[in-house]
Structure 1
Amino acid sequence: MNYRQALEYIHSQKRFGPKPGLERIQKLLSLLGNPQDRLRFVHVAGTNGKGSTTVMTASVLQEAGYKTGVFISPYVLDFRERMQVDREMISEADLTQLVERVRPLVEQMRAGGEIVAEFELVTALAMCYFEQQRCDIVCLEVGIGGRFDSTNVIAPPLAAVITAISLDHTQMLGDTVEQIAVEKAGIIKRNTDVVCYAKQDPGALAVLMQHCAETGSRLILPSAGSVEIKSLTAFGSDFAYGGEEYHIRLAGEHQVYNALSAIETIRVLQNKGFAVREEQLKNGLANAKFPARFEVLHERPMIILDGAHNPDGAKALAAALHSLGKVRIAAVVGMLAEKAVDTLLSEIGPLCTRMIAVDIDNPRALGRDALCTEASAYCADCRSASDYIEAIRLAAEAVGEDGIVIICGSLYLAADIREIALAYKN
């Protein structure tokens, strides 16, 4: 088996199992010797900010000298982003070897009528890899939900982190924030230290507080009111919190509050014996980076790539754009049909001089002409483009060298357009 065949095997599995539950991942990991039982975890769930919080926390731990695994979902550019150790993606050879090891057990289960879903397989591969690499700690991001997510197979983590909860994946998780919070709270096990996003939705926070009370867990809620934001730019933010000053490269006010979750998570780990100095905490936060999170790809015009695709993500993106001051903005947008199309367009459209709708290479995508029609309700100059180079050119033409081109709407779009945007020539 080569790397291409290994990826093809992974992606050939069904996207979801026949029914929600942890039985399949538990059995697969049992057949593999339960590698997860020999690892320590920070478990991160939520709707928005999971990846950023995971990466910031891991960056601090690595800065402090701990061999740190990172499991993120979804990836943006390369499948191997899902499994990293000390910022290095799993090698093609290691992933291929692991698929060769796990595949016979997946097929054994299939023969017995138990169908392993793709994310369950990926989770099992990651657990094997992190054990193989002898990680000191793993920052583990939930895929979807929490309660029945395959990452929830782990024993109580050193810390559970719940980032901002809002509406997304409503067909699976429920159509209210409170229902979704119940699913996210499923990662809270007995006697767990739980760090919560500082500006959590009140309904979601009530659910999390109740779940912590029922499980004897401690809820840690950073004080949003004690944060002093000193600067917000496209290249990061400076803020003061708890008597210390910090800089982060991830842009947008929402990332400041994600950083608070990372800081409080590190405090929990310090109380459990992890030696992290304040200088290491600051350096780790400052060094953390994540593709497609208000990522500046080009400076004149400023081309920014953001994966915002749900209501709260759209609001955070709009707020980040507002923080840059009065500047001409054009957007290149592509979206999946099931996402909150109108919400994103209504947040971003009024800020834009021009919007360009594009297709995404995904069977669930909303066609560019339909997207353009919807966008015209919020922006006077809406166009569709048949290729990404033309879309970026049309957007750049509308704003000039001093303006901003924002590319948003889907992580699928981000994956396909990022290299093209990086190579853009005026």
Structure 2
Amino acid sequence: MIVAKPEEKRDIRLVTRYRNVIKSFDNKWHVLDDTRVSIVREVLDWLGNPDQKLKIIHIAGTNGKSSTGAMVGAVLQANGYDYGRFSSPYIKSSREQICINDNMISEKDFLTYYDRIVAVLKTHGVSAKHLTYFEYFTIISLCYFVEHHVDFVLFEAGLGGLRDATNAISSPLLTVFTKISIDHQNLIGRNLLEIAENTAAIIKPGTWVIDYAGQDLTARQVLKNKTLAVGAKWFEYQQDQITIANTTPAGLDLIINGTPGYFLSMSGAFQVHNFSIVLQIKAALMAQGYHFEVEKTRQGLAKVKLLGRMNYHKDVNILFDAAHNVDGINGLVSALNAWHLKIKPTLILGVLKDKDYHEMLDTIVPSVQRIITVTPNNKTRALSAEELAAEILVSYPSVDVEIASDASAAISLAMRVRESSQALIVVTGSFYTLNAIQKDHRI
């Protein structure tokens, strides 16, 4: 059992160097570059193949990867297993992307592995610029998890699968797919078929493949075909019957296969679909000889926490959700409708200009009282608060829209203009919106 240590007093020199190293990374997306995965694979070879020393659960899909990973992690930890988790993007700190049992990697440890990797790169005649931001985090996470002897690694793909840095790993223990839907069409596929083919590229020989129960049939057939083609195993599983007994912003009361008494501390009815994947993962691990107890699993589910994913703060009545595409907004709106709120929420919204934000607006605007627009924390992709407000007023001229000068002002404004403290504030639209809000306003 890995015991969590209290965060050491942070050395200002380490913190400063960590920030400088992060700033030095190539932060561009290289998702159309066919050479990147082979580059990462080669560096892993130079480092002694850390991925081959780990039991990796590789998770890919359009929506639900992080929520699924958080639930699996809570169940693993409750049953006595230590797990490493690599996920992106982050909300408050870039170190959130590499965690063991929900504890972030320290600046000191990150720099230790970074220096080690740079030294190896130099012995092979290449500079520190050989790897990108995401590739460094991918490789550092694997080295970190090996040396901390975790039982499992929850390894979340960043974008698609084919050219994603996480695709450089050797055959994982399990390959898991959450819902595959339309997103990033300019990068990984023009339609669902192409996106599914890109995502399916992570399936390796020998792995067990687990699929989201409600997967679109087109996407599922692509996954099945790839599984057969590479010699992987499709995990057949009789789906559990999951019924929502009650739903609130705090979470879901569930009945599983006729047995009541399960509480999932993640709100939104759509989380049931992610939870069904978790039950499949647990069943697959049990089939491979791992042990799980019902009561411990129940306790783990009641403690799931995930920053920025239907994350409810009861004391201030604010919900943070990183819904950043049409599918995510649909899930958020369904949750809001299910709660039968007496007062329509006040919405703080910031979106990226390369998203289908017009359809996102068509979905969510009818469910809110007013909108406060903000600029997400992404200099190249953000739609400005002023531009978003203008877009909203073109289609919804009667909606009350205000522009926040900065993220902190958005929260203060929302608290001031909502009808009462009983009126929910919803912050959504992008991970970068939540990043801006959380950085500027400590909630």
Shorter-normalised TM-score: what interval? over 0.9
Which residues of structure 1 form unaligned runs of 5+? none
Is the CA contact (8 Å cut-off) linking 2:235 and 2:284 kept in structure 1? no
SS at match of 2:214: coil
Asked if residue 213 in structure 1 is aligned to residue 225 in structure 2, the reply is no
Asked if residue 185 in structure 1 is aligned to residue 200 in structure 2, the reply is yes
In structure 1, what is the equivalent of residue 307 of structure 2?
291
Query: Which amino acid in the other structure matches residue 173 of structure 2?
Result: L
SS at match of 2:176: strand
**Counterparts of 2:404 and 2:125, CA distance in 1:** 44
**1:361 to partner: Cα distance:** 3.1
Which residues of structure 2 form unaligned runs of 5+? 1-12
In structure 2, what is the equivalent of residue 366 of structure 1?
383
Asked if residue 4 in structure 1 is aligned to residue 16 in structure 2, the reply is yes
**Counterparts of 1:322 and 1:232, CA distance in 2:** 11
Q: How does 1:15-414 map to 2 (within 5 A)?
A: 15-17=28-30, 19-21=33-35, 22-107=37-122, 111=126, 115-220=130-235, 226-245=241-260, 246-300=262-316, 302-326=317-341, 327-363=343-379, 364-376=381-393, 377-378=395-396, 380-396=399-415, 397-414=417-434
**Counterparts of 2:290 and 2:16, CA distance in 1:** 39
**Counterparts of 1:221 and 1:392, CA distance in 2:** 47
**1:387 to partner: Cα distance:** 2.4
Query: Which amino acid in the other structure matches residue 360 of structure 1?
Result: P
Is the CA contact (8 Å cut-off) linking 1:198 and 1:257 kept in structure 2? yes
Aligned-residue CA RMSD in angstroms? Answer: 2.2
**1:421 to partner: Cα distance:** 5.3
SS at match of 2:426: strand
**Counterparts of 2:240 and 2:294, CA distance in 1:** 22
**1:3 to partner: Cα distance:** 3.6
**1:354 to partner: Cα distance:** 0.6
Is the CA contact (8 Å cut-off) linking 2:121 and 2:128 kept in structure 1? no
Moved more, 333-342 or 126-135: 333-342
**1:108 to partner: Cα distance:** 5.4
Closer/same/farther in 2, CA of residues 244 and 2 from structure 1, 3 Å limit: same
**1:109 to partner: Cα distance:** 5.7
**Counterparts of 2:110 and 2:172, CA distance in 1:** 25
SS at match of 1:27: helix
**Counterparts of 2:45 and 2:277, CA distance in 1:** 33
**Counterparts of 2:78 and 2:154, CA distance in 1:** 14
Query: Which amino acid in the other structure matches residue 427 of structure 2?
Result: I
Is the CA contact (8 Å cut-off) linking 2:91 and 2:438 kept in structure 1? no
Percent of paired sites with the same residue: 32
Moved more, 1-10 or 195-204: 1-10
**Counterparts of 2:88 and 2:245, CA distance in 1:** 31
Q: What whole-Å deviation, never above 9, does each CA across 1:139-181 have from its counterpart, x for those lacking one? A: 1111111122221222222211100111222221012112111
**1:382 to partner: Cα distance:** 1.2
**1:133 to partner: Cα distance:** 0.4
**Counterparts of 2:119 and 2:178, CA distance in 1:** 37
**Counterparts of 1:193 and 1:255, CA distance in 2:** 23
Query: Which amino acid in the other structure matches residue 384 of structure 2?
Result: G
Moved more, 376-385 or 327-336: 376-385
Is the CA contact (8 Å cut-off) linking 2:33 and 2:163 kept in structure 1? no
**1:398 to partner: Cα distance:** 3.1
Is the CA contact (8 Å cut-off) linking 1:196 and 1:221 kept in structure 2? no
Is the CA contact (8 Å cut-off) linking 2:41 and 2:169 kept in structure 1? no
**Counterparts of 2:301 and 2:155, CA distance in 1:** 18
Is the CA contact (8 Å cut-off) linking 1:353 and 1:399 kept in structure 2? no
**Counterparts of 1:255 and 1:347, CA distance in 2:** 19
Is the CA contact (8 Å cut-off) linking 2:74 and 2:300 kept in structure 1? yes
Moved more, 212-221 or 240-249: 212-221
Closer/same/farther in 2, CA of residues 27 and 3 from structure 1, 3 Å limit: farther
Closer/same/farther in 2, CA of residues 76 and 108 from structure 1, 3 Å limit: farther
> How many matched pairs?
422
Is the CA contact (8 Å cut-off) linking 2:242 and 2:256 kept in structure 1? yes
**1:19 to partner: Cα distance:** 1.8
Q: What TM-score does the superposition give when structure 2 sets the normalisation length?
A: 0.89
**Counterparts of 2:141 and 2:128, CA distance in 1:** 24
Query: Which amino acid in the other structure matches residue 303 of structure 2?
Result: N
Q: What whole-Å deviation, never above 9, does each CA across 1:87-122 have from its counterpart, x for those lacking one? A: 211122111211111123345567389832221111
**Counterparts of 2:439 and 2:104, CA distance in 1:** 19
Closer/same/farther in 2, CA of residues 244 and 159 from structure 1, 3 Å limit: farther
